[in-house]
């Protein structure tokens, strides 16, 4: 079960996985996520459902290698199986025929906005997407995104590819252009989502963000994923992950995301050591 | 020893790891009787003609009979007698609050200390596991399929009983390990996970299929299960943590007891970094609450390296709801109890990490409807304690996730499912419920009892006229 059917390197730090999970694929909707364990002693990590194919019975996830679990995931080969894979979790994106919508995907955030764009478009919206990354080599899925949007704007922070800008710049231009924008989504690193929400606030445009707080079970049982929105506490895994970006307590989110950095660093070093000690054959394979 | 009158033999103490040692490890504290101790304890039973102990047990274990078999050294007989009423004796013998159940009623307890029924139960059950549990008797399979949601004690019992009757049973569990609170909540040092694993292994031998990582309400809804299976048992417990709603509760270093215990027990964070999941407790820890969950959180914190662990409880010592043995063990290990104290704010530093707990002293007022004196804050008695971790162990409620698309399933205002106590039937046709999801957080043995009641009613239903009518309906629907 939960076999990896295909594995594609998207950028030097991101990998796409096609996973056999027919039941999850059957239920999955845009905006939801899964919680998986890479190996028996592994932690439970949440990853957004970046795509699903009900007929083929597959789920696509895209992971950025930032620590021991995501690196270990990358070390798996096609044909290997995950230790566990639970989903679909979280509330799906509420899809309404709003009119014109803008989806902003920063860095890894391109993956989660893809199914949302597709579903919004199928529901009859005019879909504009802004995707960006620090540099051109970190961008992915530009073609795929073009297929599910009416307008696609691509930017990089350093200008090494496409237009040199932060994602908030074209967003502000669109808002200033006088076009009626009904709703905005911002998905990516917390700091980027914070600035997307700040940008749209003075225009009074509804803005949804997908909060990536630290999770354990993903089913509302532990409260690790607590976030504050509009002065109230929510469990991001069951009440979200999407929330009103104008009401989120960003400082709290950012601070809670950092709580385990020391331990994460230690786990990473240990994992890297274990790789060095491993058979040379094995290291060359991965 | 045999010529001494039974009630003159002193109660056999439980061998335990010394407090100084066990503070440093997660190995089981209570080590179990030797055969000699067990027999000697068994001798204390008066073999009452009207055994009051049985009335104290929520599932009416045949206590004097199994004790007699133990005395006769007929161990397999003791096992059978015990398991006739209690399918999880190795677990109940360890975690039942005996002092308020079977042992509270034991006649020997009137003049001295009661017979250690729980410890004998554990002894017999451990003997069986060591000896190698006998292969289950083959049963005539029945075609009806039963879905059992969750895998805590209520579900394990319902599944086991139904499988023994020949039903096709599937357990659907949200987490990646079966066992419910027995695996994610109660720590290794009180209930070794190998004991739980052995029980689950036995269920699999009975033919129960266990499907993990299946979240009902998300992957399937209750309504879908109701359509797909002949009967559904809902045993999803009460897993949603209650927080205090005081300022500072979202600071880093504030945990729900569920989070701390899940990290430690289910995810084995006490073995980090060999196991990937981290947990962090500081040197000074406050646990708010005084139930079993609070004791477990406090004693786990100590074992994770905390120097000073406080139990902060708004009532007094005599209201402490935890099992007596756990309170005693906690005290021996050096846990500090702050009674009549209630937190009003969690204090934090510039980095958003806990730095202290602001509390107020309480006094006990007039007894309320439940007969308990309710605590009232003493004006002007606020004070601060330096802390770097705060753990909330205030109780839990049923997790509503399972109720999406379950219209018609009636629930109380507290969010618990309404089910008939004598049958386990809910207001949804062919859906039964039992355990914490019906009662709110209670005990392992009461959950087990509820699983048993439901299993027997499911059998009565499917074997009776209603079942007949349903089979016709099912056949016409699929035709
Ligand atoms: C709803 C949700 C959806 C997500 N979707 C994606 C996705 O599609 N692709 C992707 O690459 N990442 C996604 N993430 C983030 C991803 O879960 C973390 O990057 C991953 O857990 C890091 O694990 P690690 O061991 O590799 O890194 P670590 O070194 O352990 O951690 C690096 C950082 O990741 C975060 N993190 C660590 N553990 C967890 C955890 N258990 N839960 C959440 N965050 C954690 C912390 O902020 C931490 O500082 C999502 C997170 C959430 C909550
Ligand atoms: C830390 C702690 C210590 C305790 N100590 C004691 C003790 O010493 N003695 C004692 O008698 N009692 C004790 N209790 C109470 C006792 O454990 C519970 O009363 C008992 O476990 C309840 O059993 P249950 O079968 O109703 O549910 P649970 O044991 O709660 O199991 C429910 C299961 O359902 C699963 N589930 C939930 N939602 C879904 C869903 N949507 N889909 C699929 N699966 C789902 C959960 O993951 C879980 O595995 C303790 C409880 C805790 C938390
Ligand atoms: S199941 Fe619990 S209450 Fe009943 S006899 Fe055993 S220990 Fe006592
Ligand atoms: S009440 Fe006590 S002495 Fe009497 S049968 Fe029960 S355990 Fe034995
Ligand atoms: S991750 Fe445990 S409650 Fe959200």
> Do residue A256 and residue B274 have CB atoms under 8 angstroms apart?
no
SS3 assignment for chain A: CCEEEEEEEEECCEEEEEEECHHHHHHCCCCCEEEEECCCCCCCEEEECCEEECCCCEEEEEEECCCHHHHHHHHCCCCCECCEEEEEECCCCCCCCCCEEEEEEEHHHHHHHHHHHHHHHHCCCEEEEEEEECCHHHCCCHHHHHHCCCEEEEEECCCCCCEECCCHHHHHHHHHCCCCCCEEEEECCHHHHHHHHHHHHCCCCEEEEECCCCCCCCCCCCCCCEEEECCEEEEHHHHCCEEECCCECHHHHHHHHCCCHHHHHHHHHHHHHHHHHCCHHHHHHC
Inter-helix orientation angle B35-42/B117-131, to 10°: 140
pLDDT tens-digit readout, B328-361 = 999 999 999 999 999 999 999 988 999 999 999 9
The pLDDT score that the predictor gives to residue A284 is: 45
Give which of B310, B334, B277 is closest to B388, Cα–Cα: B310
Alpha carbons within 13 angstroms on the beta-carbon side of residue A151 total 13
Closest CA to B67 of B91, B33, B96, B95: B33
Q: From chain B, pick out residues whose CB is under 8 angstroms from the CB of A228.
A: 250
User: Which of B218, B249, B276 lies nearest to residue A68, judging by beta carbons?
Assistant: B276
Residue B45 beta carbon below 6 angstroms from any ligand 4 atom = yes
Q: How far is the CA of B236 from the centre of ligand 2 (A)?
A: 7
What distance in Å separates residue B332's CA from the closest CA in chain A? 29
Q: Is the pLDDT of residue A285 over 50?
A: no
Nearest CA to ligand 3 atom 8: B102
pLDDT tens by residue, A11-63: 999 999 999 999 999 999 999 999 999 999 999 999 999 999 999 999 999 99
| B446-472 pLDDT tens trace | 999 999 999 999 999 999 888 889 889
E strand residue ranges, B155-314: 168-172, 209-211, 231-234, 240-241, 254-256, 284-288, 308-312
Cross-chain residue pair B352–A256, CB shorter than 8 Å: yes
For ligand 4, pick from B5, B12, B51 the residue to mutate: most ligand atoms within 8 Å of CB: B51
Cβ of B174 within 8 Å of Cβ of A23? The answer is no
- For chains A and B, count residue pairs whose Cβ atoms are closer than 8 Å: 112
ipTM of model = 0.94
Q: Is the pLDDT of residue A141 over 90?
A: yes
- Read off the pLDDT of residues B186-225 as tens digits, 9 standing for 90 and up: 999 999 999 999 999 989 999 999 999 999 999 999 999 9
First to last CA, chain B: 72
- The residue of chain A with its CA nearest to that of B175 is A217
- What are the start and end residues of each CATH 2.40.30.10 domain in chain A? 4-89
- The pLDDT, as a whole number, for residue B476 is 87
Residue B197 CA to ligand 3 centre (angstroms): 20
Global confidence as pTM: 0.94
What CATH number belongs to A4-89?
2.40.30.10
What local confidence, expressed as pLDDT, does residue A283 receive? 47
Ligand nearest to the CA of B65: 4
Per-residue model confidence (pLDDT) at position B436: 97
Res A286 pLDDT > 60: no
Determine the 3-state secondary structure of B33 from DSSP: coil
Task: Determine the pLDDT at residue B475.
Answer: 87
Q: How many angstroms does the Cα of residue B50 sit away from the middle of ligand 4?
A: 9
State whether B250 and A223 contact (CB < 8 Å).
Answer: no
Sorted by sequence, the CB contacts under 8 Å of residue A85 that are 6+ apart come out as A1, A2, A19, A21, A24, A34, A35, A36, A37, A59, B213
CA A137 / ligand 3 centre spacing (Å): 65
At residue B376, the pLDDT reads: 93
- Min Cα distance B250 → chain A (Å) is 7
Residue-level pLDDT, tens digit, chain B, 479 residues:
445 565 578 899 999 999 999 999 999 999 999 999 999 999 999 999 999 999 999 999 999 999 999 999 999 999 999 998 898 999 999 999 999 999 999 999 998 999 999 999 999 999 999 998 888 888 899 999 999 999 999 999 999 999 999 999 999 999 999 999 999 999 999 999 999 999 999 899 999 999 999 999 999 999 999 999 999 999 999 999 999 999 999 999 999 999 999 999 999 999 999 999 999 999 999 999 999 999 999 999 999 999 999 999 999 998 899 988 899 999 999 999 999 999 999 999 988 999 999 999 999 888 877 777 889 999 999 999 999 999 999 999 999 999 998 889 999 999 999 999 999 999 999 999 999 999 999 999 999 999 999 999 999 999 988 888 988 988 888 77
Q: What pLDDT is attached to residue B237?
A: 96
Pick the CATH number of A100-257 from 3.40.50.300, 3.40.50.80, 3.30.930.10, 3.30.70.260: 3.40.50.80
Ligand 3 atom with minimal separation from the B118 CA: 7
């Amino acid at each position: 079960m939960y076999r990896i059917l295909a594995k594609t390197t998207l950028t030097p730090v991101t990998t796409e996985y096609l996973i056999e999970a027919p039941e999850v694929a059957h239920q999955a909707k845009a905006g939801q996520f899964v919680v998986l364990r890479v190996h028996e002693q592994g932690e439970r990590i949440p990853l957004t459902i970046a795509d699903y194919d009900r007929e083929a019975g597959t789920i696509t996830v895209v992971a950025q290698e930032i620590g021991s679990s995501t690196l270990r995931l990358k070390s798996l080969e096609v044909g290997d199986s995950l230790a566990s894979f639970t989903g679909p979790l979280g509330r799906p994106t509420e899809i309404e025929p709003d009119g014109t919508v803008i989806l902003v995907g920063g860095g890894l955030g391109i993956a989660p906005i893809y199914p949302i764009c597709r579903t919004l478009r199928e529901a009859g919206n005019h879909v504009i997407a802004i995707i960006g990354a620090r540099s051109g080599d970190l961008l992915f899925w530009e073609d795929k995104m073009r297929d599910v949007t009416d307008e696609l704007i691509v930017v990089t922070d350093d200008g090494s590819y496409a237009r040199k800008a932060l994602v908030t710049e074209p967003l502000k231009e669109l808002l200033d252009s006088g076009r009626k924008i009904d709703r905005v989504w911002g998905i990516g690193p917390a700091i980027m989502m914070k600035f997307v929400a700040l940008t749209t606030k003075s225009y009074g445009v509804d803005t949804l963000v997908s909060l990536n707080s630290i999770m354990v079970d993903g089913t509302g049982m532990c409260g690790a994923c607590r976030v504050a929105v509009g002065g109230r506490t929510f469990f991001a895994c069951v009440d979200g992950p999407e929330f009103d970006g104008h009401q989120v307590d960003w400082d709290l989110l950012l601070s809670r995301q950092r709580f385990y950095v020391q331990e994460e660093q230690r786990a990473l070093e240990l994992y890297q050591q274990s790789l060095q000690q491993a058979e040379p054959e094995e290291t060359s394979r991965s | 020893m045999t010529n001494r009158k039974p009630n003159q033999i002193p109660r056999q103490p439980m061998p335990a790891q010394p407090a100084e040692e066990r503070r440093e490890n997660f190995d089981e504290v209570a080590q179990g009787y030797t055969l000699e101790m067990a027999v000697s304890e068994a001798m204390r039973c008066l073999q009452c003609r009207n055994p009051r102990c049985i009335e104290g047990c929520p599932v009416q274990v045949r206590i004097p009979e199994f004790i007699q078999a133990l005395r006769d050294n007929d161990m397999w007989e003791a096992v059978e007698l015990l398991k006739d009423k209690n399918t999880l004796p190795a677990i109940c013998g360890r975690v039942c609050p005996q002092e308020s159940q079977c042992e509270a009623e034991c006649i020997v307890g009137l003049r001295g200390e009661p017979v250690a029924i729980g410890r004998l139960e554990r002894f017999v059950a451990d003997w069986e596991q060591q000896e190698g549990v006998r292969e289950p008797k083959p049963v005539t399979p029945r075609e009806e399929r039963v879905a059992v949601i969750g895998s805590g004690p209520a579900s394990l019992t319902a599944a086991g009983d139904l499988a023994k009757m020949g039903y096709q049973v599937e357990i659907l569990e949200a987490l990646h390990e079966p066992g419910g609170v027995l695996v994610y909540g109660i720590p290794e040092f009180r209930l070794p996970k190998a004991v739980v694993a052995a029980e689950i292994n036995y269920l699999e031998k009975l033919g129960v299929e266990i499907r993990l990582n299946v979240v009902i309400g998300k992957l399937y809804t209750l309504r879908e299960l109701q359509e797909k299976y002949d009967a559904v048992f809902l045993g999803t417990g009460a897993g949603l943590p209650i927080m205090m709603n005081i300022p500072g509760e979202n600071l880093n270093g504030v945990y729900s007891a569920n989070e701390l215990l899940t990290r430690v027990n289910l995810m084995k964070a006490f073995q980090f970094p060999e196991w990937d999941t981290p947990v962090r407790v500081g040197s000074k820890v406050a646990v708010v609450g005084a139930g079993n969950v609070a004791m477990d959180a406090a004693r786990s914190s100590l074992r994770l390296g905390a120097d000073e662990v406080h139990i902060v409880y708004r009532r007094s010592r005599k209201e402490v709801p935890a099992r007596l043995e756990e309170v005693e063990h906690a005290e021996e290990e050096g846990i500090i109890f702050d009674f009549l104290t209630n937190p009003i704010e969690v204090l934090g530093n510039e980095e958003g990490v806990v730095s202290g707990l602001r509390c107020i002293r309480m006094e006990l007022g007039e007894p309320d409807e439940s007969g308990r004196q309710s605590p009232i804050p003493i004006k002007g008695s606020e004070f601060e304690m330096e802390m770097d971790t705060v753990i909330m162990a205030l109780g839990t409620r049923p997790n509503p996730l399972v109720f999406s698309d379950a219209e018609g399933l009636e629930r109380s205002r507290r969010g618990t499912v309404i089910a008939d106590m004598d049958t386990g039937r809910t207001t949804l046709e062919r859906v039964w419920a039992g355990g914490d999801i019906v009662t709110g957080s209670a005990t392992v043995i009461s959950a087990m009892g509820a699983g048993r009641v439901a299993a027997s009613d499911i059998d009565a239903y499917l074997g009776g006229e209603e079942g007949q009518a349903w089979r016709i309906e099912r056949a016409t629907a699929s035709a």
